[in-house]
Chains A and B, each alone.
Chain A
Amino acid sequence: MSFIEIENLGKTFCSDADTVVALGQIDLKIEDGSFLGVMGPSGSGKSTFLSIMGGLCHPSEGKILVEEIDLYRLSSEKRADFRREYLGFVFQSFNLIPYLTAQENVMLPLAVKKIPVKQKKALANQVLERVGLSHRLTHLPNQLSGGEQERVAIARALVNSPPLILADEPTGSLDTATSQEIMGLFQELNEEGQTIIMVTHNDENRPYFDRTVILRDGNIAEDSNRRPKVVAQAG
């Protein structure tokens, strides 16, 4: 059994005028510890794929199993719990809350957890240190550079130690040098065993992935491994 199993996944958007097939039939198995890049031109279904993976958008057909949990057989409130416990999101354009400090933004996924505030702070500080921002705890997002904001967003995704990180165009609004820095950070996290699925249309990010799936018109056009997984070899 793989870490994630996607079977026969399809998504159709219906409107009065016409029907748009966003995803055709996707079958995919993703192993624990992989760094999967999902690429493709705009309109190829990347974002829809990520929304469905994140439990935010109900598929029209098929199913997704994460550690054997059938995501869309959970109630919507249970799926919220699933997101909190199993997923870390890194959104396009960071999506930090403007009136919360870096530390508070990182603590967001813990806000509804019943653990002492002291412990929440310790966890947040730990991941902020991991992404190299321990000196920026009390800064508001608008006092941080683009790269720093991205790091805060990554720290927020890491704070609840989720088995899976979903990243949506994380380098979309960064310059080349900062993009490389951020991709390097993702790679480091992956090498520490973190499973990551990243959606991007930027070819420069491709060398960082150990597996790349290219979508075209909602279907998998290419599925290639760049480097064999160390874990897989050992197995």
Chain B
Amino acid sequence: MKLETIAFNNLRRRKSRMAFLVVGLLIGVATVVTLVSLSNALTADIQHKMENFGANILLTPRSDTLSLSYGGITLGGVSIDSREIVQADLVKIHTIKNSRNISAVAPKVLGAVTVDNERVMLMGVELDKEFHLKKWWTINGEPAKTDHQLVVGNTAAAKLNLKIGSKLTISGELFEVTGILDKTGSQDDQLLIGSLPTAQRLLNKPGTVSLVEVAALCSDCPVSDMVNQIAEVLPNVEVRAIQQVVKTRMHALDQFRTFSLAIAAIVLLIGALVVFVTMMGSVNERTREIGIFRALGFRRGHVVRLILMESAAVSLLAGLLGYLVGMLATQAVLPFMAEHQVALHWSPVLAGLAMLLALLVGCAASFYPALHASRLDPTEALRAL
């Protein structure tokens, strides 16, 4: 027989009151867990996209003139500067300080060729890298694999009347169309896409590239630092970061996080109030019992400990259940919020934090009731009913 025995037996007997306490705290904890794990999962979702979809640093030849092109509209008919990037210089990109954050370097050469008397843009790429980087490309047929195979943009294919398996001649060389891109809505629709060495030969641009797309690994790696680092090793190249979209998304997520923390705080506060009112009621109901304890020689401190022990037990249970409920709720809601399949992490750390949070809120809300109980007049126990 210890104080714990009394606390647990009391909780066991007053099951409905205990259930009420647990539910009151559980809702608060579950809300916090849901919102925290949801925003973590959404951040992971965005990071995943950043890592897998597209470039976030663009290298173009440094130009002394202002660009006359915007949104695909080019004035003056001159869009390709006479300067090009030397392909051999690109290995320097891997010497920068943050080189381990670079997941792909995709150089390409651009130039106009004539096919059946139509002028068309040929883009030479490192085939494997490009198809890996542009996950949003849907290719009908097969990606090009050899130097004399091409993938054709949707509009270009229609214009040139090309189908999968069609043959065409560029500058006297025979090519086979292995795949046609689904409409992308971008300039990619207008292109013939072939291998880099072939395009360099056809366009007479040996050893040079027109632009380079670089994919950095993660959303929070220092893209602007990397831009500076690359500009340092490639002084004749214009280096720009494409991060506007990601920044907007992250900003929205930050707002969601702040908003959810505010909601969670309110729900927790209500939970704390439920605990306070219930414990206060419980203490008043147990006036006589507490009087008996005091008469039998319990100190005030013992009474406080007894009440806090009960609320600690209830809080830990509510914390654990709140974690489970919160994770299940996240699992239910996540598919509607994340575009990509995100795995939910059942983290013991979050479970521990949930229980700690419940313990803190539960004990803080029970402290005054416990103090009140310890100050009850023990003579109540001796008075006749």
Contact = CB atoms under 8 A, between A and B. Distances in A.
A111 B299 CA distance: 11
Interface in B6-20: 6, 9-10, 12-13
Interface string A78-98: 001111110101011101011
B348 interface: no
A81 B295 CA distance: 10
A99 B9 contact: yes
B301 interface: yes
Interface in A181-216: none
Given A57-B379, A77-B301, A100 B9 contact: yes
Interface in A26-84: 47, 50-51, 54, 56-57, 76-77, 80-84
A108 B288 contact: no
Contacts of B385: 93
Interface in B277-301: 288-289, 292-301
Nearest to B14: A99
A104 interface: yes
Contacts of A80: 294, 297-300
A167 B185 CA distance: 94
Interface residues of B, number: 29
Contacts of A50: 382
B14 to A, nearest CB: 8
B381 A95 contact: yes
A83 B300 contact: no
A77 B385 CA distance: 27
Given A56-B378, A93-B385, A168-B382, A99 B10 contact: yes
Interface in B258-311: 288-289, 292-302
Residue of B2, B300, B301, B382 with most chain A CB atoms under a 10 A cut-off: B382
Contacts of B301: 77
Contacts of A93: 384-385
B1 A107 contact: yes
A112 B292 contact: no
Contact of B297 (A57, A83, A95): A83
Contacts of A151: none
Given A50-B382, A109-B296, A124-B1, 6 more contacts: A47-B382, A56-B378, A83-B295, A84-B297, A95-B288, A117-B1
19 contacts: A47-B384, A54-B295, A54-B382, A80-B300, A81-B297, A83-B297, A84-B297, A87-B297, A89-B295, A89-B382, A93-B385, A95-B381, A100-B6, A100-B9, A104-B5, A108-B6, A109-B296, A112-B298, A160-B297
